[in-house]
Structure 1
Amino acid sequence: MTRQVLLLNSDKPEVLQALARRPDVTVRVMTRKVYADLYRGHEVAYVDGFADLTQVEQAAYELAAHGPVDHVVAATEKSVVAAGLVRALLGVPGPGFDASLWGAHKRAMKDRLRAAGLPVTDHAQAATVDDVPRAAERTGWPVMIKPVFGSASKCTYRVDSPEEFTARHRAGGFADLAEQRLPVQVERLVRFTHEYHCDGVVHDGEVARAAVSRYFLPPLRTSPNLNSGYIADQTDPFSRDVLDLHDRVVAALGLPAGVTHLEVFRTQDGPVIGEVAVRPGGMGISRMWWHAFGVDLWEEFVRVSTGERPSRPDRAPRPETVGRTRLPALPGLRERVLAVPGVLEVLTPEECASPGRLEAYFTAADEAAAEAFIARLHEMAVPAA
């Protein structure tokens, strides 16, 4: 019997490739017209953006006119809430609108986690950028400000005082944030030593597998060209605390199935949740998992999102520490990095779908060796004077 999947996606090819491997699946797509060429041969409905829920509703009914839908799959962070609405409108099982908000809307997410007794920093929602000082009176300064919907580190700023905010705002320093035309998430600054992430696979409301990784540098403190990290020692006490926290986050969100990407700060008082996303992490994290555990997170995402059981890896995890780093696609750099002992592969910009960037994966003896390895690769990426 053919399963009918309604996919909300942008330009992420991994999920479409995983769905194409299933002969019993027919895919209909909701996307933007700029990505039309990626979905030739599929029934497609277009929206200007997933934030326009009126357009999402119309597109959902347009696609549903081709027959019943069995599964709704949101492959990007921006489409998570839209997918919750579509499930509610079409009566499709899976996270509904409220549950989808908890996995994408930063204020709703942290309200939910705090209500469950989980560690999040003080936060408040400002209606506009102009309203940030009032919200910061509730959280205390210094603060981080960002749109309530958003991915990566776009339009995210640290502000230390009301005076600094006023001066920067008058100078147009937050113009890109204001142009989002979204409420602003205001969060008390977390003082931390390192930033980690925990990625997991959830099936039937339970965590089927999860692993903790550490960023070489926090994403806000490094260029996207050099975003790096490695799989942490899973037996380390802090890693065990993060794994337990991940279990509790999944329970608090009431997530029935999906792939999670939980970001966690290491502080003197223990782990503090940054954010959680209900989709595979970007920046090469899924490929790092494949090298470390023999698990393709995009394949697992499609499995659990369409009612299948998680897979069983056909090999044991690597005993070494596995790491990753992005690098600028400078002439000859790929060949020089590939010649370094311990490097597993270096993907070209075309292979990793990241224009102007390479992605390198490697093994090292332990976490300290992984840090040294990343530093060495970054030095190789500095153009000669």
Structure 2
Amino acid sequence: MSDARALVLSTGKPLFDAARAPFAAEFEYLDLHAGGAVGGGLTVPSFDHERETLDTVDRLMARRPFQHVLATSESNLAFAAFLRSRYGLPGLGFDAALTVTNKWRMKQWIKPSLPTARCWLSGDFAAAAPGDPSADVVVKPLSGSSSKGVRRIPAGQAQELAAAGDELFLVEEAVDADAELHVDGVVRDGELRAAFASAYDRPVLSAAGTTRASLHLPPEDPRRGPALQAAERAVAALGIADLVFHLELFQVGDRLLFNEIALRPAGGGVAESLRTFHGVDLWDEFVRIQLGKPPGAGLSDGSGRSGFSGVIGVAAPAPGSGRRVPADSELLAVPGIVRVSPGSSRAASEAGLGSSCAFSRLAFFSCPDEAAVHAALAGIGRLSGG
């Protein structure tokens, strides 16, 4: 067994576990679980800064010193960074992590580099005149992913929630976007080594709970260039030497507005789709960066593939909706669908939390044009019953 150890903030995520497996001969993994006992493993109340958790991790460091801390999801990325800062370990530190996990800090950081919607902390919004109380705003938890807890509501209602003072949250001007784009990529030694521009078939917040698609944009698509330029500006502003990122942008006319950025592989099948169609493994890079390993093979800029490829997430049926999850054979019979894989094992519970990635199945497509993608999406919708 190697003397090199890595503390893993385990969430049982199969894509992460598959990505770390090749390094098991070099590193002893110390898996830490949050919540109830998982297979008799080491557990803590939560991946947070509470005393019991820190005492447990301190004792582990005293008895079995580890040299790396591995985050496995957005939910524990900040705590992994906190532990690195606490013990002086290499990798993303806590203050840098706050810039990409705390949405208020994120908005302040990006303002000099990219345009973004105006926003307020809820306490400030409660004291401010909201203008037209019927105008929409978006309220968000300060941290989180997959649109969980995010709502678009009238400004007057948001001000009432803010005035109650029961919780601190972010309030943003609502953006009526023509489209929502995302860029996924890898930075190594401060250089943007891989970047792939994609478009959701609809803005994610309005599409939560439904079957939806992410389309990787081919080189000739006019949306691709501006999105990649925005990504270059965003990662340059971060100033972090090594990272995997998922950047979301709103397209409003001929302008791109920053929405959010996360330093982990995209969910909803996007990372798997990029591996399938472009040969880049974002989960492999995510693990490599945290273990201090060099880049893997296959990093590319995404400029070599024509046509539209991507993934359709088949939504988990809500109780009483009358919808169903089509069989794999049915999905593969839809023109353009080339592969099907399982979605989240917790899709039903995630749907109850309002997750935008509560997919029971993932259907990967390769189509000659965007119209064919929408035809495939409509075909799956008919199979699902809505």
Report SS of the residue matched to 1:83: helix
Q: Which moved more, 1:25-34 or 1:137-146?
A: 137-146
- 1:68 Cα deviation from its structure 2 partner: 3.3
Separation in structure 1 between the aligned mates of residue 82 and residue 309 of structure 2, nearest angstrom: 38
Partner of 1:296: 281
Q: Which moved more, 1:139-148 or 1:225-234?
A: 139-148
Q: Say which of 345, 348, 371 aligns to 1:353.
A: 345
Partner of 2:138: 144
Amino acid in structure 2 at the alignment position of 1:16: D
Q: Alpha carbons of 1:207 and 1:135: their partners in 2 closer, same or farther (altered >3 Å)?
A: farther
Q: Alpha carbons of 1:307 and 1:264: their partners in 2 closer, same or farther (altered >3 Å)?
A: same
Q: Which moved more, 1:82-91 or 1:249-258?
A: 249-258
Q: Say which of 365, 368, 371 aligns to 1:368.
A: 371
Partner of 1:210: 195
Partner of 2:310: 323
Q: Kindly indicate whether the alpha-carbon contact (under 8 Å) linking 1:203 and 1:258 is maintained by their aligned counterparts in 2.
A: yes
Partner of 2:11: 10
Q: Kindly indicate whether the alpha-carbon contact (under 8 Å) linking 2:336 and 2:373 is maintained by their aligned counterparts in 1.
A: no
Partner of 1:79: 76
Separation in structure 1 between the aligned mates of residue 361 and residue 212 of structure 2, nearest angstrom: 11
Partner of 2:22: 21
Partner of 1:158: 152
- 1:18 Cα deviation from its structure 2 partner: 1.6
Partner of 1:100: 97
Separation in structure 1 between the aligned mates of residue 150 and residue 326 of structure 2, nearest angstrom: 34
Q: Alpha carbons of 1:58 and 1:203: their partners in 2 closer, same or farther (altered >3 Å)?
A: farther
Structure 1 unmatched runs, 5+: none
Question: 1:338 aligned to 2:338?
Answer: no
Q: Say which of 47, 55, 60 aligns to 1:58.
A: 55
Q: Which moved more, 1:230-239 or 1:132-141?
A: 132-141
Structure 2 unmatched runs, 5+: 317-323, 349-359
Question: 1:36 aligned to 2:31?
Answer: no
Amino acid in structure 1 at the alignment position of 2:313: R
**Offset from partner CA, 1:151-210 (integer Å, 9 cap, x none):** 111121112331x4478x5xxxx9xx98xx752001111221000111111222222101
Report SS of the residue matched to 2:345: coil
- 1:347 Cα deviation from its structure 2 partner: 1.6
- 1:264 Cα deviation from its structure 2 partner: 0.5
Q: Which moved more, 1:23-32 or 1:94-103?
A: 23-32
Which ranges of 4 or more aligned residues in structure 1 deviate by more than 4 Å? Answer: 138-141, 164-167, 314-318
Amino acid in structure 1 at the alignment position of 2:272: R
Q: Alpha carbons of 1:381 and 1:276: their partners in 2 closer, same or farther (altered >3 Å)?
A: same
Q: Say which of 118, 123, 126 aligns to 2:122.
A: 126
Q: Alpha carbons of 1:230 and 1:2: their partners in 2 closer, same or farther (altered >3 Å)?
A: farther
Report SS of the residue matched to 1:259: strand
- 1:66 Cα deviation from its structure 2 partner: 3.4
Q: Alpha carbons of 1:363 and 1:135: their partners in 2 closer, same or farther (altered >3 Å)?
A: farther
Amino acid in structure 2 at the alignment position of 1:157: R
Q: Kindly indicate whether the alpha-carbon contact (under 8 Å) linking 1:56 and 1:86 is maintained by their aligned counterparts in 2.
A: no
Q: Kindly indicate whether the alpha-carbon contact (under 8 Å) linking 2:326 and 2:384 is maintained by their aligned counterparts in 1.
A: no
Amino acid in structure 1 at the alignment position of 2:115: P
Separation in structure 1 between the aligned mates of residue 54 and residue 145 of structure 2, nearest angstrom: 23
**Offset from partner CA, 1:65-118 (integer Å, 9 cap, x none):** 23332222212112121112101111101121110100100001111111x332
**Offset from partner CA, 1:207-234 (integer Å, 9 cap, x none):** 2101011111222112435132110124
Tell me the percent identity: 30
Partner of 2:356: none
Separation in structure 2 between the aligned mates of residue 35 and residue 280 of structure 1, nearest angstrom: 27
Q: Alpha carbons of 1:319 and 1:166: their partners in 2 closer, same or farther (altered >3 Å)?
A: closer
Q: Alpha carbons of 1:196 and 1:59: their partners in 2 closer, same or farther (altered >3 Å)?
A: farther
Q: TM-score, normalised by structure 1?
A: 0.84
Q: Alpha carbons of 1:35 and 1:364: their partners in 2 closer, same or farther (altered >3 Å)?
A: farther
Partner of 1:260: 245
Matches for 1:188-267 after TM superposition, within 5 Å: 188-267=173-252
Amino acid in structure 2 at the alignment position of 1:226: T
**Offset from partner CA, 1:232-275 (integer Å, 9 cap, x none):** 12443432111121122112222222211111000125111111
**Offset from partner CA, 1:14-59 (integer Å, 9 cap, x none):** 212221221212111232133623xx6x7x3x33222444444334
Matches for 1:372-383 after TM superposition, within 5 Å: 372-382=375-385
Q: Kindly indicate whether the alpha-carbon contact (under 8 Å) linking 2:180 and 2:250 is maintained by their aligned counterparts in 1.
A: yes
Separation in structure 2 between the aligned mates of residue 35 and residue 264 of structure 1, nearest angstrom: 39
Q: TM-score, normalised by structure 2?
A: 0.84
Q: Which moved more, 1:2-11 or 1:198-207?
A: 2-11
Q: How many residues align?
A: 362
Q: Alpha carbons of 1:61 and 1:211: their partners in 2 closer, same or farther (altered >3 Å)?
A: same
Separation in structure 1 between the aligned mates of residue 108 and residue 49 of structure 2, nearest angstrom: 24
Separation in structure 2 between the aligned mates of residue 249 and residue 378 of structure 1, nearest angstrom: 35
Q: Alpha carbons of 1:244 and 1:62: their partners in 2 closer, same or farther (altered >3 Å)?
A: farther
